[in-house]
A and B are shown apart, each in its own frame.
Chain A
Amino acid sequence: MNDEEKVIHTYTKDVLLPIIKRVKTYLYDEMNIDVFNTSEITCPKNIHLKKNTVMIGTTGSIKLIITLGFDEELLNKMVETFLDGENISEFDLSEVRDSVACEVTNTIIGNAIDNPIDNSDIYITPPVLVCSAKTLNKEKNSKFAFITFITKYGEIELTAVGPKEQFENELKFIEN
């Protein structure tokens, strides 16, 4: 293994752990929602996306696709807290729900993303709401990391997708 490969192999865990932490602190501080349980990080062969799933890519020296998927009741609770009693029309409600899901994801990942490899900036793409694709299948050179956060209003699923070599065994992810 050369030096460049060593660097690549270590960063997924270093990128994910601050995001995992920020999911919990954001929900608690901004939404008054307590994450009372968190699953172990696993590396499944495919991912079934929730209906309300937002996707963000990272660019620069770190390249990952990160998704956050929200249960319906949890998203409704977040919308209610986010709007803080502000009245919105029925016409705008659907767009507001989508934009809250995107905004929460953008803030969590934007706040947490850091570069464990070098001092260069990591940029994140604008968030995209996944509407029709329901399942992500792992191809030969890709890999998923997957974690679930459990709250009284439902679950959030965090997925990171990237080249296989970024997910080395020493990260101690549990394979499904």
Chain B
Amino acid sequence: MLKVLIVDDSLAIRIKMKNYVEKLGHNVVGEAKNGSEAVKLYKELSPDLVTMDISMPEMNGVDALKEIIKKINSDANIIMITANGQDGIVKDSLLSGAKGYILKPISEEKLQDSIGKIFSEYIVKDSNILDENDLADL
């Protein structure tokens, strides 16, 4: 069972994501509404996995990702969540240390695929989430 931190400014998405995480058998240890809260909670909770929305007020998800990777844990498992799959935003996140990304609308299957790519014990066949070979092509 993974300890998961959910980061999103949308209450509706936090509720939905928590539902998916728990259905997959994992434990939500914290929720943050912006990047600053995410960094603070990451320090306190040391989660196994973070789902991080990119577009948020105060500190966005990419800046929070960079701060966590640089200052707290260079191997943090962070999955970025975005509605906008344009190359620049996604590439910046992946090159900054994100382990994958989910293009909205989110679904239980997409989350399961992403988790399986990071944690081999939860691997799912036929996943289309980016892996290390994809990253090398960027």
Residues of chain A at interface, number, CB under 8 A: 27
- Chain B CB count within 10 A is highest, among A102, A121, A124, A125, for A121
Knowing A26-B105, A30-B105, the reply to whether A96 touches B84 (Cβ < 8 A) is: no
CB of B72 within 8 Å of the partner chain: no
B16 touches A123 (CB 8 A): no
Shortest CB-to-CB span from A148 to chain B, Å, is 23
Distance of A165 Cα from B11 Cα, bound (Å): 38
Q: Mark B11-54, 1 if CB is under 8 A from A, else 0.
A: 11101100100000000000000000000000000000000000
CB of A142 within 8 Å of the partner chain: no
Knowing A30-B105, A107-B105, A126-B55, the reply to whether A121 touches B12 (Cβ < 8 A) is: no
Contacts of B88 in A (CB 8 A): 121
Distance of A84 Cα from B19 Cα, bound (Å): 10
A86 touches B86 (CB 8 A): no
Q: Report the nearest B residue to A88, measured CB to CB.
A: B15
Distance of A86 Cα from B20 Cα, bound (Å): 11
CB of B70 within 8 Å of the partner chain: no
CB of B123 within 8 Å of the partner chain: no
CB of B89 within 8 Å of the partner chain: yes
Q: Report the nearest A residue to B10, measured CB to CB.
A: A99
A99 touches B84 (CB 8 A): no
Contacts of B103 in A (CB 8 A): 111
CB of B135 within 8 Å of the partner chain: no
Q: Report the nearest B residue to A110, measured CB to CB.
A: B83
B55 touches A100 (CB 8 A): no
B83 touches A92 (CB 8 A): no
Contacts of B77 in A (CB 8 A): none
Tell me the residues in window 105-150 of chain A with beta carbons closer than 8 Å to chain B beta carbons: 106-107, 109-111, 113, 121-126
CB of A82 within 8 Å of the partner chain: yes
| A interface with B by C-beta (< 8 Å) | 26, 30, 79, 82-84, 86, 88, 92, 95-96, 99-100, 102-103, 106-107, 109-111, 113, 121-126
A to B CB contacts below 8 Å, 29 in the list: A30-B105, A79-B12, A86-B15, A86-B16, A92-B11, A96-B12, A96-B15, A99-B10, A99-B11, A99-B12, A99-B13, A100-B12, A102-B10, A103-B12, A103-B104, A106-B55, A106-B83, A106-B104, A107-B83, A107-B105, A111-B103, A111-B104, A121-B88, A121-B89, A123-B84, A124-B84, A125-B55, A126-B9, A126-B57
